[in-house]
A and B are shown apart, each in its own frame.
Chain A
Amino acid sequence: MAVNWARSGSPWLIHFNTGGCNGCDIEFVAAITPVYDVERFGIKLQGSPRHADILAVTGPVTVQIAHSLKRVYDQMPSPKFVVALGTCAVSGAPFRNCYCVHGGVDSVIPVDAYVPGCPPKPEAMIDGIAKLLQKIRGTKG
């Protein structure tokens, strides 16, 4: 109970681009600016995967970067969660079945929340993460 409260109250993010066009990255960076103030939820952006709880992935997973994504995921201490930001990260979108694309993020590592959009607005990203936090707290299936 207290542990779930602590986990949902202090989610630390790490951002990983798996080969996207940087559209989602710009929106993600916008989402952590003072205008949206995600520190209200206790969200902090961390540099090291060792410190992070939530891996925020943008972009379609290319064949070349798939093993790096897996490795960053493995470096994070559990319990760890993954948020796929943008349609490319959700499914691979227009690049699905391309010779160099592995697929969506869930073709490499398990994903806990999907935020579709090309790119999703910062509000949508924060909403997706807030819904994941509700899931961690156990108030919503």
Chain B
Amino acid sequence: MVAYEIFQLVVFPGALFVICLAFLYEWVDRKLFARVQGRYGPLYTGPAGILQPVADFLKLLSKEDIVPRACDANLFFAVPVMYAALPLTALFIMPIAAPEALVSFEGDLIFILFSFGLMTLLIFLAGWSSMSRFSAIGSVRSALQMLSYEIPLGLVLVCPAIAARSLSVSGIVQWQAANATWGAALQPIGLAVVMVCMLAELELVPFDIPEAETEIVAGWRTEFTGRRLALFRMGRDLEIVLVSALVVSLYLGGAQQLWLVPAAAMFVIKTAAVVAVFSFARALFARFRIDQMIAGMWKYLLPIAVAQVVLVQMGLGA
């Protein structure tokens, strides 16, 4: 029994499965992005290029590790490890193979929100510790961006919790299963707001202001090389899995069995659909300026988010 629990934590649906899923979704994202532009995308690394993220990861692991003389060495070493570990930890709260997650407690939705805030804080520290002007601009932009999307995101994520009378992600999934409904059907406005905020959280194209390549080289990760960069890339991929898992769990019914299709397969299909929406958005839009982004979030997205909370409180969509 203990062996099975260790297997659950380490292999399926724990760390190994989630890391494989992270690499798979990077490939899905790059392929779809390429298809929208009328190209093939990664093609020769493994069948149809499916091993491309693995090749990138291995290559970065084997590269020279440069530490700039001016950087704050302790932070510079610690931040990439924490950045990769945090979404991996948060993913244990997500129901993947069953409506009940490996770890769940009343209030884990708040922990997820907290971990999103912590990711941005780590990004800020990463840019700050590397003492490069491009990194500093990137990290300040990242913090500014967080100040504008965190509030609508927090407001809207509370709505499914109000509807399900539970602050646990597993509890919300089980509520949807018990009522045979999807959060998206009850709160479509909330889903739209969450998707926009998540694009900003993941720093994907309309909101990739902190790493705008044409302006500030590579933003907050300009100075990172080798295995630190590899950890940052893996952390980003895991964050995409975490975000799509959260959207699926709160709004798209989560990991529920459908006839003969097992819950884990439904989870993978639904999260892949969310990743597809992200990569289409990435391919279709151009980058906003930081002031446009902040003004838009406060002027338009925040009132919409408040309206969603009011609607739920009035009993609509609950």
1/0 per residue A19-45: CB within 8 Å of B? 000000000000000100101111000
In the complex, which residues of chain B have a beta carbon less than 8 angstroms from the beta carbon of A40?
A: 39-44, 49
> Which of B55, B57, B225 has a CB less than 8 Å from the CB of A51?
B225
Taken together as a complex, chains A and B put the C-alpha atoms of A77 and B59 apart, in Å, by 12
A98 at the interface (CB under 8 A from B): no
A110 at the interface (CB under 8 A from B): no
Is A10 touching B40 in the complex (CB atoms < 8 A)?
Answer: no
In chain B between 19 and 78, which residues have their CB closer than 8 angstroms to a CB of chain A? Answer: 30, 34, 37-45, 49, 51-52, 54-59, 62-66
Does A68 touch B at the CB level, under 8 Å?
Answer: no
How many inter-chain residue pairs (CB < 8 Å) link A and B? 93
Complex CA distance for A7 and B57, rounded to whole angstroms: 10
Contacts of A78 in B (CB 8 A): 63-64
Cross-chain contact B218 with A2 (CB below 8 angstroms)? no
Q: In the bound complex, how far is the Cα of B222 from the Cα of A41, in angstroms? A: 24
Residue contact B34 to A51, C-beta cutoff 8 Å: no
| In contact, B222 and A77 (Cβ under 8 angstroms) | no
Q: Given the complex of chains A and B, what is the CA–CA distance between A41 and B44 in angstroms?
A: 6
**Max chain B C-beta neighbours (<10 A), residue from A2, A9, A48:** A48
Chain A residues near B40: list those with CB within 8 A: 37, 39-40
Which chain B residue has the least Cβ–Cβ distance from A2? B58
Is B102's beta carbon under 8 Å from chain A? no
Contacts of A53 in B (CB 8 A): 59, 63
Contact of A3 with B224 in the complex, beta carbons under 8 Å? no
Q: Mark B196-215, 1 if CB is under 8 A from A, else 0.
A: 00000000000000000110
| Contact, CB under 8 Å: A10 / B66 | no
Inter-chain contacts of A141 with B (CB < 8 A): none
Q: Is the CB of B34 within 8 A of A46?
A: no
A94 CB–B CB distance under 8 Å = no
Contact: A34 with B52, CB < 8 Å? Answer: no
A52: shortest Cβ distance to chain B, in Å?
A: 10
Q: Identify which of A2, A5, A48 contacts B217 (C-beta below 8 A).
A: A48
In the complex, the answer to whether B45 meets A42 with C-beta atoms within 8 Å is: yes
A39-B41, A50-B222, A77-B64 given as contacts; is B58 within 8 A of A3 (CB)? yes
Which among A2, A40, A46, A53 has the greatest number of chain B C-beta atoms within 10 A? A40
B226 within 8 A of A: yes
Contacts of B54 in A (CB 8 A): 6
Given contacts A39-B34, A50-B224, A77-B226, contact A9 B52 (CB under 8 A): yes
B281 close to A (CB within 8 Å): no
CA gap between A46 and B211 in the complex, in Å:
11
CB-defined contacts of A77 to chain B, threshold 8 Å: 63-66, 225-226
Expressed in whole angstroms, the minimum distance between the Cβ of A15 and any Cβ of chain B is 12
Known: A34-B37, A51-B225. A6 touches B43 (CB 8 A): no
| Distance in angstroms between the alpha carbons of A48 and B212 in the assembled complex | 12
Closest CB of chain B to A32's CB: distance in Å?
Answer: 11
Contacts of B39 in A (CB 8 A): 34, 37, 39-40
Is there a chain B Cβ closer than 8 Å to A47's Cβ?
A: yes
Residues facing B in A102-141 (CB within 8 A) are: none
Question: In the assembly, what is the distance between CA of A46 and CA of B64, in Å?
Answer: 17
Q: Would you give the shortest CB distance from B304 to chain A, in whole angstroms?
A: 34
* B38 contact set on A, CB distance < 8 A: 34
Residues of A in contact with B (beta carbons under 8 Å apart): 2-3, 5-7, 9-10, 34, 37, 39-42, 46-48, 50-51, 53, 75, 77-79
* A-B CB proximity, top 9 nearest: A6-B58, A77-B64, A9-B55, A37-B39, A40-B43, A9-B45, A6-B59, A48-B218, A47-B213
21 A-B contacts, Cβ less than 8 Å apart? A2-B58, A6-B54, A6-B55, A6-B56, A6-B58, A6-B59, A9-B44, A9-B52, A10-B52, A10-B56, A34-B34, A40-B42, A41-B43, A42-B44, A47-B213, A47-B222, A50-B66, A50-B222, A75-B66, A77-B226, A78-B63
4 more contacts with CB within 8 A, not counting A39-B42, A51-B221, are: A48-B218, A53-B63, A78-B63, A78-B64
